[in-house]
Amino acid sequence: MAERQATRSAKLFARAQQVMPGGVSSPVRAFKAVGGTPRFMKRGKGASITDEDGRTYLDYVMSWGPLIHGHAPKGLLSVLTKTARHGTSFGAPTRLEIEMAELVRSLVPSMELVRFTSSGTEAAMSVLRVARAATGRDAVLKFAGCYHGHADGFLVEAGSGAVTLGVPTSPGIPKAAAALTLTARYNDLASVDAVVGRVKGGVAAVLVEPIAGNMGVVPPEPGFLEGLRALCDRTGALLVFDEVISGFRASRGGAQHLLGVRPDLTCLGKIIGGGLPVGAYGGREDLMRMVAPDGPVYQAGTLSGNPMAMAAGLWALSQLSDKLYAKLERLGALLAEGLSESAHRAGTDVSINRVGSLLTVFFTNQPVRNYDDARGADTAAYGRFFQAMLAQGIYLPPSQFEAWFLSGAHTTDHVDTTIRAARKAFKVAARGGSAPTP
């Protein structure tokens, strides 16, 4: 049975590679970081997903975050069905956009005006254009390990040091575009001061994930975000929070509410579409009034504000509650504690970072507070751990440098099942060699 299932996935993957680069629509899905053949999913319900062979997994990817209520909740399906009966796209304004913008602003007060896009990448591209137009400056500062979509200016790494100009990390990116993006070290205000101090005329924006999720989960240390706010106030730069992952995951008001730091501009995505493609950016009214048609900063999109995505997002955000966040915090704490204990018993060195319903198990004996620390993790050990968990029906992110996500559909029993599976998987990771294949 196991061989038949693996062969079916292998056949689908081989077929996909004939018509799609790498056989996937997004690189991490190809399992290259963990080995083996990607599973092709057919359906999801609650906290579980089922592949094309009928094998069911307990899911900790949750579509990379947006499914905070689980897969295919009845209320969401009902809303989508009702909305679709009236039309799936108009390329014209709808009432749903207004209601969604009003709800977002009520939950995230720093977003005084909101513009919807079709992805988080679009939101980040657009917010950067606004920041440059508002300040009249070209250079921007980001942090090594923080991901803001695949626009040219964001695919940049730190180079040899914190004050080094960015260099492209992908072919096809002009060096001139990359040179406008400066990179500092997350949780290191001294590195920020060093970079900004070398830029004649200053930077347009400091763009940061307030809770990093794209090098694995790395929370901000006390004073880090406050320091960025103070620096921006002092230098005239704009503080931009990329909350595509943390928005409505960290709290109903995002990381900025949880951590008490107000940015000038914010990017959102993932959860505000309830699992459908969506993004948004917003912030101070004076800045957002610069966006066309109110102002000269052009940005547009045929499917922006799509009624299906707006309806799904309205339902998803309306279901957020203190009770839900309390449950997610409890389950997250139980999972992190159980994983830590299981790793210790197996003699496996791990460092676990967690904020609420997001966590990452880093295979390292050192604390992880920035990208350099994250890159010190044993990715081969994580690959063995991943495969051993997959063999036991637990679906984890197929990369060491991604976040695990819990949902309201997860239960204490699910967490207990995961911890039991991890006891075996950590032993596999510790001893090396190949993991069992499901």
Asked whether residue 69 is domain-assigned, the answer is no
For residue 290 the two structure tokens come to 């610069």
Asked whether residue 164 is domain-assigned, the answer is yes
Q: Same structural domain for residues 358 and 281?
A: no
Q: Same structural domain for residues 42 and 24?
A: yes
Rounded to two decimals, the pTM is 0.93
Whether 147 is a known active-site residue: answer yes
Q: Same structural domain for residues 275 and 406?
A: no
Of 318, 336, 365, the one marking the end of a domain is 318
Q: Same structural domain for residues 331 and 244?
A: no
Asked whether residue 14 is domain-assigned, the answer is yes
Of 270, 297, 318, the one marking the end of a domain is 318
What stretches in the chain show pLDDT beneath 50? Answer: 1-5, 158-167, 435-436, 438
Q: Same structural domain for residues 197 and 209?
A: yes
Q: Same structural domain for residues 193 and 273?
A: yes
Q: Same structural domain for residues 267 and 144?
A: yes
Q: What is the CATH number of the domain that holds 382?
A: 3.90.1150.10
Q: Same structural domain for residues 108 and 22?
A: no
Q: Same structural domain for residues 356 and 404?
A: yes
Strand-pairing partners, residue 167, are 157
Q: Which residue among 242, 264, 373, 378 is the active-site one? A: 242
For residue 268 the two structure tokens come to 């959102």
Of 263, 290, 318, the one marking the end of a domain is 318
Asked whether residue 67 is domain-assigned, the answer is no
Q: Same structural domain for residues 216 and 294?
A: yes
Beta strands across the sheet bearing 404-405: 351-355, 358-362, 404-405
Q: Which of 49, 41, 45 is CA-nearest to residue 73?
A: 45
Return the pLDDT at 173.
Answer: 80
Q: Same structural domain for residues 14 and 33?
A: yes
Asked whether residue 416 is domain-assigned, the answer is yes
- pLDDT tens string 352-362: 999 999 999 99
Return the pLDDT at 157.
Answer: 57
Return the pLDDT at 433.
Answer: 52
Whether 395 is a known active-site residue: answer no
Asked whether residue 227 is domain-assigned, the answer is yes
Q: Which residue among 57, 147, 281, 395 is the active-site one? A: 147
Whether 325 is a known active-site residue: answer no
308, 163 Cβ separation under 8 angstroms: no
Domain interval for residue 238: 74-318
Mapping DSSP onto H, E and C, the string for 282-351 reads EECHHHHCCECCCCCECCCCCCCCCHHHHHHHHHHHHCCCHHHHHHHHHHHHHHHHHHHHHHHHHCCCCE
Q: Which residue among 57, 60, 270, 382 is the active-site one? A: 270
- pLDDT tens string 339-385: 999 999 999 999 999 999 999 999 999 999 999 999 999 999 999 99
Q: What is the CATH number of the domain that holds 261?
A: 3.40.640.10
Asked whether residue 68 is domain-assigned, the answer is no
Q: Same structural domain for residues 380 and 274?
A: no
Asked whether residue 66 is domain-assigned, the answer is no
User: Structural domain tally of the chain?
Assistant: 2
